[in-house]
Every structure is written in structure tokens, then in C-alpha cells.
Amino acid sequence: MQETDPTMLPPEVKEWLAFAEQKLGEVKAIAGLASPDTHALYARQ
């Protein structure tokens, strides 16, 4: 069974999803810093 309503997720799952979203943002920022083309954009965050 697949859950399609995010309001029905258990609180623990919501916490893990928020954590994962934060970490993905951090990975994106690190990748931006590593690229010469986008370094300046991410260096100011």
C-alpha cells in the first residue's frame, strides 16, 4: 500500500523526510561550491 496523503504520515516519518530534505539542500550547495561556474552563487549563502 502506498501512502498518497502526506498528512497521514506518522510524525517520525515526517521528521526523517524533513532531515533528508535539509541534507539534499546541503549536498546541492556543496556541489555548487565545487563547480567553478556556480561557485560564486553558493559562496554567498
Segment 3-20 shows an average pLDDT of: 86
Unique residue bearing C-alpha cell 556541489: 31
Per domain, the residue ranges of the chain are: 21-45
pTM of full prediction above 0.75: no
Question: How buried is residue 5: exposed, middle or buried, by Cβ count under 10 Å (0-12/13-18/19+)?
Answer: exposed
Q: Which residue has the higher pLDDT, 8 or 4?
A: 8
Residue-level pLDDT at 3: 62
Grade residue 5 by pLDDT with cuts at 50, 70 and 90. Answer: confident
pLDDT in tens, 33-44: 999 988 888 887
Considering the chain, what percentage of its residues have pLDDT values greater than 70? 89
